[in-house]
Structure 1
Amino acid sequence: MPRTIDESFLSLPLRPLADAALARARALGADHADFRLERVRSASRVLRDARPSGAEDTTVTGYAVRVVHGGSWGFAAGVDMTMDGAARVAAQAVAMARLSAKIIAAAGSGERVELAPEPAYGEQTWISSYEINPFDVPDADKTALLTEWSERLLAARGVSHVDARLWAVQENKFYADTAGTVTTQQRVRVQPELTATAVDSGSGRFDSLRTLAPPAGRGWEYLTGTGWDWDAELAGMPELLAAKMAAPSVEAGRYDLVVDPSNLFLTIHESIGHATELDRALGYEAAFAGTSFATFDRLGTLRYGSPIMNVTGDRTVEHGLATIGWDDEGVRTQSWDLVRDGVLVGYQTDRRTARLSGFERSNGCAFADSPAHVPLQRMANVSLRPAPGGPDTEELIAGVDRGIYVVGHGSWSIDMQRHNFQFTGQRFFRIEKGRLAGQLRDVAYQATTTDFWGSMEAVGGPQTYVLGGSFMCGKAQPGQIAAVSHGCPSALFRGVTILNTTRESGR
């Protein structure tokens, strides 16, 4: 069945509201105006030991008008779905811009908001790549599948508890601007997750193991066979959990690491994804875990990592969580290089930061997480490229005499400049003379961003590549949340500092 835009969204007075708002903004002298009407539906289901323990289904609908007037931004949002209401919101946005201009002038700043040029695209429609909209699936079917998965794990020896969760989002956006771009878009994403916990009744010690399946820009089919082998993952979890419970604690020191995509995606997110957001590099985003060591003056010269390091920003990859047709400034999305042969060569931009820095155009990274929020420069799908014809994970492991194979993401810590970091994981396997030799516990790897990526000696081939990601990337004040994917192969790093988390914490 072909995918179509939700009829209930299309039944809203999209174009009339936009026309009223944009006409009012023009009449009040706005140099640029854009209108964005959104409906975001989010649902979650939670089971504890195969019994329902929580459910939520919320929908947020509203619209926003953003203007550039007199060299300043203005923004306002509303929910009154009438032409008069939309015109009033546009007038409020212009009033905000006028007030901002006065404040800026009083502060002695001559900076004016200017936007990088972007062609007008006329009327366009885009729908993300999925087969079955999860919101078309009865809640009873969702609960039944999560229950069946939970019961499988609970039936296994050594599994004491199981938590099962499913998140689903359908995001609809209508956008129109004074240049003539009009877009109607729909994207769907899901995140299934199960966590099995073992408890030693004698000692009281416990540990857990989480599924590795990443969130994805897919539909219900992701849970029923397309894109992930759930049967294989669930079947292997009890034995892996038992081995984790029995594993010895790691000895701190320096080790070679083979890092699985299920862990490496998060390191990419924190140390590359955020660090190459241009607003951070320019100092405009500094309040909430802001700024970056990869400052703009280092573009083209910063040795980010080893010569085999190639990283792209991409808002077009199929099933990516940050994939969209046009961003929230009417920019057609694209793919571009961030790091090439280990050197910083690009940033993620919106139209303002692109113009400030002399780029010809934005690469489509403006996004707002709700109709009440102003678009920010947000992260694309930032991915480490595999090596064509490169090794598989077993070959990477075979090249290590003494090391650790890291699987699954855990906790993390990184400074505001995205330079000094520490990451844990879900599963750690000792490598001895090129072979896996049982699990370890209490492992964290620590480095600076450039030292870590500089120690990367080999990347796996396309057969090791996995598109991981997160539903919950936070940025800005007031805070906004965005979903983003990060693809990567397995990779080999030499001589990385390993900490014992239990001993480091003094426990």
Structure 2
Amino acid sequence: MPSTIDDSFLALPCRPLADAALARARSLGADHADFRLERVRSANWLLRDARLAGSQDRTDTGYAVRVVHGGAWGFASGVDLTPDGAARAASRAVEMARLSARAGAAAGTAAPVELAPEPSHGERTWVSAYEVNPFDVPEADRVGLLADRSARLLGGRGVTHVTARLWAVQENKFYADTAGTVTTQQRVRVLPELTATSVDAATGRFDSMNTLAPPAGRGWEYLTGTGWDWDGELGRLPELLAEKMAAPSVEPGAYDLVIDPSNLFLTIHESVGHATELDRALGYEAAFAGTSFATVDRLGTLRYGSPAMNVTGDRTAEHGLATIGWDDEGVAAQSWDLVRDGVLVGYQTDRRTAALQGLGRSTGCAFADAPSHAPIQRMANVSLRPDPEGPATADLIGRVERGIWVEGRGSWSIDMQRYNFQFTAQRFWRIENGRLAGQLRDVAYQGSTPEFWGAMEAVGGPDTYVLGGTFMCGKGQPGQVAAVSHGCPSALFRGITVLNTARESGRS
């Protein structure tokens, strides 16, 4: 694992810019100021049928100054990497705070900004857990690996087309604030995916199937063997796709479901992760991304799910996409309970929302996806904990007489309060008398959040736990995206409503 920050980032004038910005903010009377210099490099490659169809590699560098002045927020960003430029940005941030304070007072809506306390952490450095930076790998090797794996799938029975994608990100951040915290961090993450498509030339019927490898806070080693069995998955995929093409359509009804982590992570993301963001619960996302049924008056009493449900928010998980050393407000990474024994016991917070609720300290969930954006409250790695003595997936399946085993991420839909939802998947398997009995097609499961999680009878043991996730969680106005992981074991749910998507859409 690399133990140092890239020399090219360290060569940037981070400290002189921060000193100039913070000194100017202090001189103008700011109660709090923080400075953030970022360099974000993002690259992606797309191959169709083993041939490169497109690629992009871009780097964004800039800085931001945020202040609390006169009880109001102020923010400004810039790309002039000189002390004078940083000082001017601080002046603009203070002026923005003054304008905001006057506007709030005129409208009668002024509420002084207060931040939950956070101790000074001094000067610290943090690098995420990876072995080989993907940007150190030659372009020919990156494209060549994707082409080889695409060709392997194209040689499989019934595979007509293959799409391969790889997305890699290196994120560097320097942060300093008037409390004395100074952090320098480097995060690397990768998202590899291959999709095989089969087309029946006689009928025109087609279907596809993706690899299940989740995005991860890892490096190039993730694509060459560490952390995922690529050979095994690619070897099975053509046969699984052929079976899916021939599978019968599901009969709607109530089924027991055994859900694999490759699918359940997304249900966690939408129905638990977003619902336990405190800004949503307080109504601050109502204009765009919705609110939450898990309101603050129900903290400690809301029956979120069955006693088997234990969910944590975690900014420290190894290889987590939302794992950090310190957030964009200088708050140290930590882990905490959101749901304990099925009851709502916590929220994800930043310093502003934590102070609003008198929670004492932020859980470190402030993040900005670019130097031109102000930090907003974003999701931690929100994960369902396994049962330390829990069963294997096969044992969960063995408990089911009539049900469905669900694998892989599909489509999703959920209401603005994170209450009613519907999910599909990549693969569905019929369960009969405790055994798998072939694949099904056109399956979607639906429910309401507390009813669904209340129907969870059992979770698997640690050997069934997988850290899934997404690169593209959207939130905020203007919109920002963030990468986040969700770990979970396999889990058994009783009596879940299943729909036939072909019939619902009129295709049958």
After TM superposition, the score normalised by the length of structure 2 is 0.99
Q: Distance in 2 between matches of 1:415 and 1:347?
A: 20
Query: How far apart are 1:109 and its partner, in Å?
Result: 2.1
Which residues in structure 2 correspond to 1:1-80 (within 5 Å)? 2-80=2-80
Cross-structure match for 1:224: 224
Give, in whole Å, the separation in 2 of the partners of 1:76 and 1:289: 24
Q: CA RMSD in A?
A: 0.6
1:123 — aligned with what? 123
CA displacement, residues 445-481 of structure 1 (integer Å, 9 cap, x when unaligned): 0100000000000000000000000000000111000
Is residue 335 from structure 1 mapped to residue 335 from structure 2 by the alignment?
yes
What is the distance in 2 between the residues matched to 1:457 and 1:351? Answer: 36
Q: How does 1:332-411 map to 2 (within 5 A)?
A: 332-411=332-411
Contact 1:48–1:164 (Cα < 8 Å) also in 2: yes
Instruction: Deviation per CA, 1:341-390: give whole Å up to 9, x if none.
Output: 00000000000000000101001000000000000000000000000110
CA distance in 1, matches of 2:286, 2:187: 30
Amino acid in structure 2 at the alignment position of 1:461: G
User: 5+ unaligned residues in a row in structure 2: which ranges?
Assistant: none
CA–CA distance in structure 1, aligned partners of residues 105 and 303 of structure 2: 40
1:155-194 alignment, distance < 5 Å: 155-194=155-194
What residue is the counterpart of 1:450 in the other structure?
450
In 2, are the aligned partners of 1:115 and 1:352 still within 8 Å (CA)? yes
In structure 2, the partner of 1:299 is 299
| Other-structure match for 1:211 | 211
Matched position secondary structure for 1:94: helix
Q: Report the 3-state secondary structure (helix = DSSP H, G, I; strand = E; otherwise coil) of the residue aligned with 2:45.
A: strand
- Give secondary structure in 1 for the equivalent of 2:94: helix
> 1:4-30 CA deviation, whole Å, 9 max, x = no partner?
201111000000000000000000000
- 1:423 aligned to 2:423? yes
Report the equivalent of 2:260: 260
Deviations 1:93-123 (A, max 9, x none): 0000000000100111241100000000110
Report the Cα distance in structure 1 between the residues aligned to 2:307 and 2:50, rounded to whole angstroms: 49
Residue 3 of structure 1 and its aligned partner are, at CA, apart by: 3.1
Q: Is the 8 A contact 2:291 2:416 kept in 1?
A: yes
Identity percentage of aligned residues: 79
Q: In structure 1, how many angstroms separate the alpha carbons of the residues matched to 2:480 and 2:330?
A: 20
Q: Whole-Å Cα distance in 2 between the matches of residues 333 and 3 of structure 1? A: 18
Check conservation: 2:2, 2:130, Cα contact below 8 A.
no
Match of 1:500 in 2: 500
Q: Which amino acid aligns with 1:326?
A: W
Contact 1:3 1:131 in 2 (8 A): no
1:290 corresponding residue in structure 2: 290
What per-residue deviation string (whole Å, max 9, x for no partner) do you get for residues 425-455 of structure 1?
Answer: 0000000000000000000001000000000
Aligned residue in 1 for 2:274: 274
Q: Distance in 2 between matches of 1:285 and 1:106?
A: 23
* TM-score (norm: length of structure 1): 1.00
Q: Given the alignment of the two structures, is residue 317 of structure 1 paired with residue 317 of structure 2, yes or no?
A: yes
Per-residue CA deviations over 1:166-193 (Å, capped at 9, x if unaligned) read: 0000000000000000000000000110
Secondary structure, aligned partner of 1:359: coil
Residue 248 of structure 2 corresponds to which residue in structure 1?
Answer: 248
SS at 1:118 equivalent: coil
Count of residue pairs brought into register by the alignment: 507
Q: Is the 8 A contact 2:101 2:110 kept in 1?
A: no
- Matched residue type, 1:419: Y
**Equivalent residue of 1:256, what SS?**
strand
Distance in 2, matches of 1:286 and 1:76, equals 25
Q: Is the 8 A contact 1:462 1:489 kept in 2?
A: yes
| Equivalence for 1:139 | 139
What amino acid is the match of 1:54? G
The residue number in structure 2 matching 1:111 is: 111
Per-residue displacement from partner, 1:56-97 (whole Å, max 9, x unpaired)? 000000000000000000000000011110000000000000
Matches within 5 A, 1:93-112: 93-112=93-112
Q: Secondary structure at the match of 2:418?
A: coil
Contact conserved, 1:287 with 1:476, CA < 8 A, in 2? no
Tell me the CA shift for residue 254 of structure 1.
0.3
1:289: how far off? Answer: 2.0
Q: Does the 8 A contact of 2:2 with 2:127 survive in 1? A: no
The CA distance in 2 between the partners of 1:78 and 1:318, in whole Å, is 33
* Partner Cα separation in structure 1 for residue 217 and residue 134 of structure 2: 11
One-letter code of the match for 2:153?
Answer: L
User: Residue in 1 aligned with 2:413?
Assistant: 413
- Structure 1 runs not aligned, ≥5 long: none
**Cα distance in structure 1, aligned partners of 2:414 and 2:289:** 9
Q: Distance in 2 between matches of 1:12 and 1:288?
A: 36
**What's 2:202 paired with?**
202
Aligned to 1:474: 474
**Secondary structure of the corresponding residue to residue 143 of structure 1:** helix
Letter in 1 for 2:29: G
Contact conserved, 1:193 with 1:210, CA < 8 A, in 2?
yes
Describe the superposition over 1:223-281 as per-residue Cα deviations: whole angstroms up to 9, x where unpaired.
01100000000000000000000000000000000000000000000000000000000
* Cα separation, 1, equivalents of 2:164 and 2:110: 54
Report how far residue 506 of structure 1 moved.
Answer: 1.9
Q: Per-residue deviation at 1:157?
A: 1.3
